[in-house]
Structure 1
Amino acid sequence: MEFMAKATALVGGTVALMRRMGSPKHQAMGSAPEIPEAKSQGIMTLKMPVAHGWAHGHVPTCAPGLKVNAFASGLDHPRWIEVLPNGDVLVAESKEQPSAPRTLMDHAAQATMRRVKAIGISANRVTLWRDADGDGAAEMREVFVEGQNQPFGMALIGEKFYLGNTDGIVVFDYKSGDTSLTGPGRKLVDFKPGGHWTRSLITSPDGTKIYAGVGSLSNIGDQGMEVEEGRAAIWELDVEAETARIFASGLRNAVGTAWEPSTGALWTVVNERDGLGDETPPDYLTTVVDGGFYGWPYCYWGDTVDDRVPQDPELVARAIKPDYALGGHTASLGLCWMPEGTLPGFGDGMVIGQHGSWNRSKLSGYKLIFVPFANGAPSGPPRDILSGFLSEDEKLAYGRPVGVAIGPDGKSLLMADDVGDVIWRVTGA
C-alpha cells in the first residue's frame, strides 16, 4: 500500500504538472461562468496534499474584521455539525471506508485519499460538545451516539432525533438536555451505502419533512445505471407517515442543503463529475425543485452533453441549469444560510465549506467562502471567510473545511475541519 501511495504521488504529480501548463487561467464561478470545453483525460489527474494538521498557535487565515478559535479539538475526522435548540453542538465523526478496488485507478484513488486521511477506519459516532460558560470553547464532551454506519446528517423535530447513516435514516427518542441517546434507534428509510457515502439531512421549516442528500455510486454511471437507482438524488421523508420518495434527481453528489428564508426555496451544493478538465464542469450551488432533474450523468450545466455516457435525449432536454458555479472540483460540501448581522461586514448569504480538490492540476477549494444574496438569489462574487488551509507549495493540508453551522449565540460560525480534527469558531474581531 505504501508503494502504491508513492507511485501514485509520482505519476499523479507528473501528470498534474503537464496539465497545469495548459490549465484555465480563471475559475468557472458565478451565475454566468465561462466553462472550458471538455477534454477527456484518459488517465485522470490525481493530486492530493499530505495531511499535516495545525501546529500549536497556527490557525486559519480570517477575512478582515474576523477572528477564529478552536471551539472543540481532538476529534476523529469531524464531518458535520448540528446545533441543538439548547445550544449543545453535535459533531458527526466518520470517514469513507475502503471498498475492494476494482481497477488500477481505484487503487490509485484510494492511495491518494489516504494521503489526506480521507479514507480508513471510521469512528462511527456523534459527539456532543457544550460551552456552558459561554467563552467560545466547549469544556464538556460526551458520546451522544456510537456504533453507527458512517453517520453524517442530523435533524431534530420535537423529541425525535434523526440521523443519516450511509445506509439509511434512523430515528431516536430525545429530550432537551440529553447528553446521550439510548437504544438502537429505529430505521425509517433504506439507502444504498458506499460510493458518495454522505447522507445530509435538513428539516422543512414546518417540521413535517426531512430532506436527505444521497450521492451517486460512481463518477458517471461507470457500473451501469441499475446500481445507481435511488442515488444521485435528494430524498424527501414525510415525518408523520414515515414514507420517503425521490424529491429531485440528476444531482451527482448533493451534500449540504439550506433554506433561503425570503423565498422559502431549498438550496444545495453539488459535486460534479471528474475527468473532463480542471474547470469542467464546475461544482455548483442551486435551488432544488420538486421533480427537478439536474443532468447527471448524461449532461452538465444544463444540456451540455457528456459524450462518455450512453445518452437519454429526453432527460437531457429536461435538465435544469444550476444557479451559481463554484469552480471546478472545489468539493463544496458544507452549506448554511447566514443572515445579515451574524458576522461584521457580511450581509445575507450562503456559507460554503469547500473541502478541496484532489483531481486537478492546480488545487482548488480548501476555503470557507460566502456567497452574497439579494432578492432570494446570489448577488455577487464569493468572498473568503477562512483560508490558509494549504501550504503555499500545495504539498501540505493543514486542514480541510467540511460542515458549517451558525453558532448557538447567533453571532458566530462553526466549521468542521476533518484534517485538523477541529471545530473552528469564527466571530467578529
Structure 2
Amino acid sequence: MMKSISLCSTLIIAMGVSYPSFALPLDKIKLQEGFTIDVYAENLENARQMALGDNGTVFVGSRKAGNVYALIDSDNDFKADKKIIIATDLFMPSGLAYHNGSLYVAEVDKIWRYPDIEQSLPKIPKPELVYDKLPNKSHHGWKFIAFGPDGKLYIPVGAPCNVCESEQPFASILQLDLETKQTTIVAQGVRNSVGFDFHPQTGELWFTDNGRDMMGDDLPDDELNRVSKKGQHFGFPYIHNTDIADPDFTNPKIATLNTPPVLTLGAHVAALGMEFYQGNQFPAAYKQSILIAQHGSWNRTNKVGYRIMQVALEGNKVIDYKQFATGWLEGEQSWGRPVDVMTLADGSILVSDDFANAVYRISYTKQ
C-alpha cells in the first residue's frame, strides 16, 4: 500500500451534540423567497467535494485536512447524525465520485477506489489503487472528479503555477478509461478547474475555470466554459476570457485557438463546484439551470465571491446570471466559503464549506 494512504479503523462520531447548529450564523444568509438554509453537518474539517451514494450516504473530501468522510442521516431528518472517517493523511483528497457502488477518491497524484462502500459501512473496505500516473505537483493539484455519461472518469490537472507555460497534462481536463487506463485530453488551456458537470440533455461537459492572479483587481474573470468538441483549447496561458492577452506569455498561433467562455463570472470570485439542477423541489425556473459555488477572493483589494450563483439557460445561451445565496461575506470579513453544490434525492441541495467546516442544506417550501 502506498505511504500516503492511512486506512482508519472504523471511527463513528455522533454529530450535533457538542457542536449545536446555532453556532453558525445562518440567519445572515440571504436566499430568494421560499428557500431555507439549515446545517446538515458540522465539525467537518475542510469540507470540499461531495458525492451521493445509492443509499443516501453523503461522502465528503477535504484538502488541507487530508481526510475523507461519510455522513449518514439515519433518521431521515435531513441532518447527518453519524460521521465516519474513511481515510486520513491523504495528499489533498479534495475530489471524489460515487459510481456503481464504489467511492472514488482523488489525491493529487492518484485515484483510489473503495469498492461496495455503502454495503461495508461502518466497516471501511480496503482501498484499491485505480490510477497513479497523475503529476504530483500540489500547486493547483487538488482535484474535482466526476463520471461522465460515457462511464469514463473526468479528472482536471491544474497549471502548476499562477501563470506559466507547462507540458501536458498540466492545464487540462482528462478523460480516464478505467478498463484500459488510457487518458484522453478533453479540454486544454484550462488553468484550474475545480468544478464541472454534464448537460442533462446534450451530455456536453461544462466547467468552471479560475483566472490568473496579479493582473489587477478586475482582470481576468473566472469562466464558465462548454466543451463542444473533444480537445478544445481554452486559451491559458496566452489569452484570458474572450480576447485579453496575457502580459507575460504570447503565442499568437495558439491564441487563435482560444474558445471564448459561455459566461464570465467576475474576477477572483474563485468559482468552484457547479451543478445542473435536475431536482423536482425547486420552482420550475430552476430546472436545468446551473448553480455555482464561489469560494471567494484571497488577494483582491475588496473581497468578492463567497456566495452561490445561478445561471439560467436557453439551450446553450445564458439568459440570466444572479445571486442564489449570499451572506458568508460581510464587508471585508467572511465566516464561510462555499465549495461545492450537490442535489439530494428529495430535490434539496447541499453546500459544502471548507472554512466553516460544515455542510448546509438549502430547501424550498411552496408559498
TM-score (ref. length: structure 2): 0.87
The answer to whether structure 1 residue 94 and structure 2 residue 33 are counterparts is no
Looking at structure 2, the residues matched to 167 and 57 of structure 1 have their Cα atoms a distance apart, in angstroms, of 34
2:75 match: 133
SS in structure 1 of the partner of residue 36 of structure 2: strand
Looking at structure 2, the residues matched to 197 and 343 of structure 1 have their Cα atoms a distance apart, in angstroms, of 34
What does 1:204-223 align with in structure 2 at a 5 Å threshold? 204-207=148-151, 209-221=152-164
Deviation at residue 55 of structure 1 after TM alignment: 6.5
Looking at structure 2, the residues matched to 142 and 84 of structure 1 have their Cα atoms a distance apart, in angstroms, of 14
SS in structure 2 of the partner of residue 171 of structure 1: strand
Aligned-CA RMSD value: 1.9
The answer to whether structure 1 residue 301 and structure 2 residue 233 are counterparts is no
Q: Which amino acid aligns with 1:316?
A: A
What does 1:192-341 align with in structure 2 at a 5 Å threshold? 192=135, 193-207=137-151, 209-221=152-164, 225-226=165-166, 228-288=167-227, 289-309=229-249, 311-339=250-278, 341=280
2:133 match: 190
1:62 match: 31
Q: Which moved more, 1:351-360 or 1:161-170?
A: 161-170
Q: 1:342 to 1:198 in 2, by over 3 A?
A: farther
1:22 match: none
Q: Which amino acid aligns with 2:357?
A: D
Q: Which has the higher contact order (CA 8 A, sep 6+)?
A: 1
What does 1:73-88 align with in structure 2 at a 5 Å threshold? 73-88=42-57
Looking at structure 1, the residues matched to 30 and 89 of structure 2 have their Cα atoms a distance apart, in angstroms, of 36
Deviation at residue 383 of structure 1 after TM alignment: 2.4
Deviation at residue 391 of structure 1 after TM alignment: 2.0
Q: 1:184 to 1:308 in 2, by over 3 A?
A: same
Deviation at residue 352 of structure 1 after TM alignment: 0.5
What does 1:270-419 align with in structure 2 at a 5 Å threshold? 270-288=209-227, 289-309=229-249, 311-339=250-278, 341-344=280-283, 346-380=286-320, 382-392=321-331, 394=332, 396-409=333-346, 411-419=347-355
Looking at structure 2, the residues matched to 246 and 186 of structure 1 have their Cα atoms a distance apart, in angstroms, of 22
Q: 1:181 to 1:237 in 2, by over 3 A?
A: farther
Is there any run of 5+ residues in structure 1 with no aligned partner, and where?
1-53, 96-122
Looking at structure 1, the residues matched to 58 and 345 of structure 2 have their Cα atoms a distance apart, in angstroms, of 8
Q: Which amino acid aligns with 2:329?
A: L
Q: Quick check: which one's strand share is greater?
A: 2
Aligned residues: 339
Overall identity of the aligned pairs, in % = 29
Deviation at residue 198 of structure 1 after TM alignment: 1.8
2:107 match: 165
SS in structure 2 of the partner of residue 297 of structure 1: coil
Q: Which amino acid aligns with 1:256?
A: G
Tell me, yes or no, if the aligned pair for 2:42 and 2:358 is still in contact at 8 Å: yes
